[in-house]
Structure 1
Amino acid sequence: MEILRVIQKSFGVLLLFTSTFAHDLSNSTAPYIFNELYSLLIHWPNNFHPNGHTIVPGILEPYTLLYHARKDTANPPPSPEWLAFDPEMSYAVMATKIPGPTYMYTYRTTRPAKILYFNGMSAAWGEGWLDTQYTVITGMGKTNGSRNNDVSLWDDYGRAKGLCEWGQHRGFEGIVRMNAGFEVIWCDFDSSSLRFVSSLNITPPGTPEARRSFPFPHNAIQHTGYRDSAEELPLRPPDRGPGRDRRPGGGGDPGRHGPWGMITAPLAHSGFLEWMRAATRYKSTTQPHISLYTHQMVSFYHPRYHSLYPSRSGKLMQEHFIWEHVSDEDVCVFLEELDSVVRADLQGTGFDWQAAALDVVAFWSDRIAQMQNLLEGVNRTSNLTQVVTAVQRLSYSPLDPFIAYGEALNASGHDIFFKLRSSPSLLDGTIAPNTTAFERCTYSSTEFLVDPELQALMTPQERVLLMSMETVLERLCTDFGILLAESTDATDSDSFSILVSAWHDRMTSLMGWLEWSSWLRCEELCDLDSVCSMPAWPITWGGGAPGTPGRDNPNIDFLKPTCRKLNMW
C-alpha cells in the first residue's frame, strides 16, 4: 500500500458516517494543530509538513555541545551566527563546499538559555518554509511586508538579525530551526550562557585554495571572510543543495563535487553523506537538549485566523502557505499573543502535551495502516466473511479498554459502544461519571483536565491544544467505533460488499484528514551502508526551487523515504 497516494487522494472522499461530532470537522484546524504539536523537534514530520505554522518558547539545556565551522579565525564569531547540534552539519556546510581553510569552533552552554523554536523546515530557503519568520520580522502579511521590507530568500543573515532583534528584547538568546538538521541562531556570542571550548583547523588535505569569487549569498560571503562585488554574484539562487537530480527520489551526487560544482578534498567527499546520516538520528524522535513549553505554543492554525482559511481549503498541509494569504490584522493578533505568552511566562497545568500526542500516534497509527491495508487488498476473489471478521477484530482491539462488554453481553455493536452507559468504580469508593465507551475513548487523554484546579491553571494555548486533541480522538473513536458496530451487527452477507467499500472510504478519509508522517517508511530494509531518508534540504532535495512539493511538485510521492547510500566507493 502506498500511504502517500492514499493521503493525497483522500480529500475527494465523502465522509459516509452520520454521527454527530461535538466539533465541526468541515473547517477544523484540529488535525493541523495536532500535527504541529506531535512533530515538535522531530525531523520527518517537519520535513513532510515543511511550512511550519507554529512558534514555541523553550530552553536550550545547560552543558549542551554546539558546533560552528567557519572560514576565518575570528573569535568570537560576529553575532548573530549559527551553531549546529551535530558536528557533521557544520563540517559539511563549510569544509565540503567552500575553498580555503576551515576552522571548527566548539561551544558549550553554561546554563538554561531561552530559545524560540520555529516549527517546520524553517532553516531552508523557500517560500512557505520561511513564512512564519517573515511575519515576525515584518509584522505584516506579504502584500505590505515585502513592500516595506527588504525580503530575500537568500538573506539568512538578515533573517537572523531580525529574529534576534525581536527575541533579545524579550530575553531570548537563540532561535532554533531545522533543515537537514537542527540548528540554533545564537544572537550574542559575548553572552555568559555560552562557553568557548576550542577552535581547530580541520581543513582536510587537498582542499582547494581560497579564490576571490564563488557563487554564495552575499551576506554569507561577508561573514565568512570573503568579499565579492554585487556584479559578480549570480542572478538566481543555486539549485537546492548538492543534489540536482530531478528523478523521483534522486539527490544527485552529494559527495565528489560541492553543491555549485566546486571540487572538494578527497576526505571531504563524504561530508554531505555524513550530514545525511546525522539527520536521520531524529527522524522519529525529538531533538535532545531542548525543552519546549508546549503550554505556550502559538500557532497560525488557531481557528480565529479567518484570512488563512482559503489557503487551506481542500489542500494538503504541504500546500498551506501563510505569508501570502494572511492579513495584517491576523499577523498583529498572532504577534500580540506571542508577545503576551513570552512576557507573562505562565506555568500552565504541567501536562506534557507533546508526549500525549505522541502516545495517540503510537497507539493508533499502525492500526489505521493495517486496517487500510486489509481493505485496500479486497478484490472479487476475497472471502468477504473473513474480511468482516478481521475488521471486527482490528476495530475492537484499540477500543476494548473502554467497552464494558461484561455488563451487556447481548448488546448490539452499536449500542455497546455508542449508547450503553457505565459508571466505573474508583479506588476511593466513589463512582466515575456515567459515560459511554465512545466518550471514554474520546476523552481518554484529557478527562483529568476537568479538575477545577487544573482548569484555573490552563493557559489559552493549552485550551487550543485540548480542543485539537479531543477532536482528533473523537474522530478516531467514531470511525473505529462505526467499523466495530457495523462489523459486529452485520448478518446479511449480501451487504458485505457495500460495507467493505464504505469502510475503505472511511479509512482513506481518516488518513487524509490526519496526514500523519508516521506512515512514511522505506519499503525495503536498508543495508548497513545506507540510511532511510526523506529528501532533505540542502543535502538531497531535488523537488524544484523555490517552494515546496505542494507548489512546485504536487505529487508528494517525491517525499517518499528511500534507502540512500553512505559510501563513496
Structure 2
Amino acid sequence: MRVRTWLAGPVVAASVAAASVSDSLGDGITPSLEVARRRGPEIFNAVHNSMRQWGSSLHHNGMSSFIATVPKGVLLHHGNTSPNSPTQPDWLAYEIEHAENFAHSRRGGPPGRGGRGPPPPQGDDREGEKQRTMKESHGTLELRGEEHKHAEEEEEEEERHGYLHVYETTRPLKFLYVDGMGGGKTTMGTLDWQDYLLRGKTPANDTDTWAHPQRDEPPPPPKRKGPGGGGPMDEQERAKDLCALCKEWGLQGVIRMEAGFEIIKCDFSDGLEQVQALQRPEDTDRRPGGFGNLEFVRGLSERYQGIGSTRTIIDYSSMVSAFFFPVNMTNPDPKRQDLPRLVSVEQTQLAEIKKYLEGVVLERRDEEARIIDWQDVSDLIVGRYADRLKDMAEAVDSIETMANKVNFLLTLFVDGSNVETTEDAIDRCANFYLRSVRPATQSDHLIHTAFKTVTHEICSTLFRVRNIVVTDPAPGRSSLAAAQSAVGALMQSLSWTRFKRCPPCPINEVCVIPMWPMGTVEEYNNPRCSNGSEAEGGERYWGGGPGGPRGPGNGRDGGPPPPLFS
C-alpha cells in the first residue's frame, strides 16, 4: 500500500468554478484544488472503493462522506430477540447472513442483566466467539424501547427467542454514507471520521466538543472503551449521536461497512415496511449461516466489487473528504503511515470541515439523481491499466515484450507524423477518460482534479517507459529493470486495491481478507483462497478484540478477534 506522511504543507487554496458553500467558513480552511492534486490517488481510491467490500476493507480508514439513496423496494434485514420493530435507532443489514448473527436466542435473562446467552457449542468455540464479538459490536439498542423494557422485567429468567426481520423500503431514503470500514470498532482510525469529525470528540479525552440539539436526552459521561452495555467503544452512544446529527440534516441515518454493509436507521417507522419477523430455530452447535462460516464469507465476497447498483446510489457530486482540505492527516503509528488519521487535525479545522459538509448535505439532499457517476469513470481507468501495469512490473522478462505492451497502451495517443511533442501525447492520454465529464458542483471539480492527477501520472510514466524500451535505438541490459522500476513505483503511488487480490478460487473456496472483526495480518498482506479447513494462525489484523488492543486472553475476555474461519 502507498506510504504517505499526510502532512498538509504550505498550501494555497485554489478557486473552483462551481458554486460553493465555503463562504460560510469565513477565514477558515476551504477545499483546495492544489490539495486535491497532491492527494489525487487517495481521492480516486475513495471514489473507486465506495460501497465495495474489497477496496473498503484494504483502505479501511475512511476519510469521506457522500449522500446515498436507498431506492424504494430494497430489502433489508435485522436480527434481535423480539418480533416487534425497534423503537430506537438500530441496525439494518444488507445481507441476510449478517442480520442472522444477531437473531440468536438468549437464555436466563436478557443481555446486560446477567443472562447466560445461548449454550456454548461442544468443543472448539471459535464460531460462537465470532458471533458474540459481532453481537457485542452493536450493543443492545433493540432492547431500549418501552415494550422491550417491559419484556425484560417479565422475562428476565426466561428464554428469549431470536427473530430475523425483513424490511422493504417504501420510498427512496437518503442517508449519509461513511466510507472505509466505518463499522469496525478499532483504534486504528476506522472511527476517526465519525468520532472526531461528525461527533466532535477529541482524541485526548474522547469527550464532546459540540452540543447535540436534536438528542432527546443529554449524552452520558464518557464510558470505558471496550464491550459492555453500550457495545464496543460506546457504539450505542455513537448511533444516537449520529442520528441526532442526521435529524438536523434531514437524513434517515448512516450507512457503514464492517464484515458486511449496514445502516444505522434512526426511525424504523419512517420509510420501512416490515415484511416478516420469524422466530429462528434453537441454537445448535453450529449455525449454518454463522459468522465466519464459509457461506457467510461467500456472501460477503459477492459484495467485494459492489453492493449492487440499484440497492444504493451514491451521489458523488456530494462528496466531502478530508483529502480536499489542507490538514495534517499523519498517522501517529510509525508502522502504518499508509493509513490516514484525523488525530492530529486541529479541532477548529474539524469543525470547519463538518460545517462545510453540512452545507453540501443541505444543498444536495433533495436532488433526485447524481450528476456524474465518478465510480464508472474510475472503473474504466482501473480496468484499462491495472492488470497490464502489474504484468509489466512483475511478469515481463524481455525488452521486446515490454515494448509490445507499452505500445499497446499508448498507440492510440501517438501521432505518427512526429510533428508534436511527447507532452501533447501525454495530455491526450490523461484526458481520454475525462473528456465527456462536465463537472457541476465543487465536489465534481475537486474529484476531476484528483482524477486528472492520477491519469497524468499513469500516462507520463508509460511514456517514460516507452522512451526507455521503444524510442531508445539501443536499449541496454539495464533498460528492462529501469522500465519495471518505473511501473512498480507508479503502482505504489496509485495503491489500487485491484493490485492485491487472489487468483481465481475453486468453487468450494473464497478469497479472504480481513473484515472487522475477522482476519490476520498475513491475509491483509497476501489475500488467499480458503475453504476454512486449514489450521488458522498468525497475528490478528485488528490488533485486539472490540475496542482495540487489550490484554491477553480470548475474544471478548481480552484477546484478539476471532479468525476468519472456524
**TM-score normalised by the chain length of structure 1:** 0.70
Q: How far apart, CA to CA, are the structure 1 residues paired with 2:160 and 2:85?
A: 20
Residue of structure 1 aligned with 2:519, choices 541, 554, 561: 541
Residue of structure 2 aligned with 1:462, choices 433, 441, 444: 444
Contact 1:312 1:319 in 2 (8 A): no
Q: How far apart, CA to CA, are the structure 1 residues paired with 2:201 and 2:207?
A: 9
The amino acid across from 2:488 in the alignment is T
**Superposed CA offset, 1:91-110 (max 9, x none):** 12443646852111111000
Q: 1:196-275, aligned counterparts within 5 Å?
A: 196-204=274-282, 207=283, 264-268=284-288, 270-273=290-293, 274-275=295-296
Change (3 A) 1:401 1:112: same
Equivalent position of 2:107 in the other structure: none
**Superposed CA offset, 1:501-541 (max 9, x none):** 22222112111101110012224x43322211212222x32
Change (3 A) 1:279 1:330: same
Equivalent position of 1:276 in the other structure: 297
Q: How far apart, CA to CA, are the structure 2 residues paired with 1:27 and 1:313?
A: 25
Q: How far apart, CA to CA, are the structure 1 residues paired with 2:207 and 2:483?
A: 48
State the shift of 1:336 in Å: 1.3
Residue of structure 2 aligned with 1:444, choices 419, 424, 432: 432
Residue of structure 1 aligned with 2:94, choices 85, 94, 106: 85
Q: How far apart, CA to CA, are the structure 2 residues paired with 1:442 and 1:329?
A: 37
Matched, 1:61 2:75: no
State the shift of 1:446 in Å: 2.1
SS class of match (2:505): coil
The amino acid across from 1:134 in the alignment is D
Matched, 1:403 2:414: yes
Q: How far apart, CA to CA, are the structure 2 residues paired with 1:9 and 1:154?
A: 28
Equivalent position of 1:418 in the other structure: 422
Q: How far apart, CA to CA, are the structure 2 residues paired with 1:108 and 1:313?
A: 43
SS class of match (1:105): strand
Matched, 1:130 2:191: yes
Q: How far apart, CA to CA, are the structure 2 residues paired with 1:83 and 1:482?
A: 50
State the shift of 1:170 in Å: 1.3
The amino acid across from 1:446 in the alignment is L
State the shift of 1:137 in Å: 3.9
SS class of match (1:466): helix
State the shift of 1:350 in Å: 2.0
SS class of match (1:63): coil
Matched, 1:500 2:480: yes
Q: How far apart, CA to CA, are the structure 2 residues paired with 1:476 and 1:91?
A: 44
State the shift of 1:144 in Å: 6.3
State the shift of 1:360 in Å: 0.6
Q: 1:73-472, aligned counterparts within 5 Å?
A: 73=83, 75-95=84-104, 97=131, 101-127=161-187, 128-139=189-200, 141-143=202-204, 145-146=206-207, 150=222, 152=225, 153-191=232-270, 193-204=271-282, 207=283, 264-268=284-288, 270-273=290-293, 274-288=295-309, 289-302=311-324, 304-308=325-329, 310-311=330-331, 318-322=338-342, 324-345=343-364, 350-374=371-395, 378=397, 387-405=398-416, 408=417, 411=418, 418=422, 436-449=424-437, 454=438, 458-472=440-454
Equivalent position of 2:151 in the other structure: none
Equivalent position of 2:117 in the other structure: none
Equivalent position of 1:252 in the other structure: none
Change (3 A) 1:76 1:174: same
Matched, 1:522 2:486: no
Change (3 A) 1:89 1:63: same
SS class of match (1:294): strand
Change (3 A) 1:528 1:270: farther
SS class of match (2:454): helix
Q: How far apart, CA to CA, are the structure 1 residues paired with 2:392 and 2:477?
A: 16
Q: How far apart, CA to CA, are the structure 2 residues paired with 1:342 and 1:355?
A: 22
Equivalent position of 1:242 in the other structure: none
Equivalent position of 2:21 in the other structure: none
Q: How far apart, CA to CA, are the structure 1 residues paired with 2:239 and 2:4?
A: 39
Change (3 A) 1:270 1:336: closer
Contact 1:141 1:326 in 2 (8 A): no
Residue of structure 2 aligned with 1:562, choices 517, 528, 538: 528
SS class of match (1:175): strand
Q: How far apart, CA to CA, are the structure 2 residues paired with 1:317 and 1:24?
A: 22
Contact 2:36 2:446 in 1 (8 A): no
Contact 1:43 1:279 in 2 (8 A): yes
Q: How far apart, CA to CA, are the structure 2 residues paired with 1:25 and 1:305?
A: 6
Contact 1:56 1:298 in 2 (8 A): yes
Q: How far apart, CA to CA, are the structure 2 residues paired with 1:26 and 1:90?
A: 38
The amino acid across from 1:42 in the alignment is R
The amino acid across from 2:363 in the alignment is A
Q: How far apart, CA to CA, are the structure 2 residues paired with 1:26 and 1:483?
A: 26
Equivalent position of 1:238 in the other structure: none
Change (3 A) 1:402 1:489: closer
State the shift of 1:122 in Å: 0.6
Contact 1:139 1:145 in 2 (8 A): no
**Superposed CA offset, 1:532-559 (max 9, x none):** 1212222x3245xxxxxxxxxxxx7634
Residue of structure 1 aligned with 2:81, choices 61, 71, 85: 71
Change (3 A) 1:89 1:559: farther
Change (3 A) 1:59 1:8: closer
**TM-score normalised by the chain length of structure 2:** 0.71
Change (3 A) 1:79 1:101: same
Q: How far apart, CA to CA, are the structure 2 residues paired with 1:497 and 1:491?
A: 13
The amino acid across from 1:291 in the alignment is I
Give the RMSD, CA atoms, in angstroms: 3.0
Q: How far apart, CA to CA, are the structure 2 residues paired with 1:157 and 1:364?
A: 43
Q: Which runs of 5+ in 1 are unaligned?
A: 1-6, 12-22, 208-263, 379-386, 420-435, 544-555
State the shift of 1:312 in Å: 9.3
Q: 1:3-14, aligned counterparts within 5 Å?
A: 7=1
Equivalent position of 2:147 in the other structure: none
State the shift of 1:202 in Å: 1.0
State the shift of 1:566 in Å: 5.9
Q: Which runs of 5+ in 2 are unaligned?
A: 6-32, 105-127, 133-158, 210-220, 226-231, 534-564
Change (3 A) 1:189 1:8: closer
**Superposed CA offset, 1:462-484 (max 9, x none):** 11101100000000000001111
The amino acid across from 1:332 in the alignment is A
Change (3 A) 1:142 1:397: same
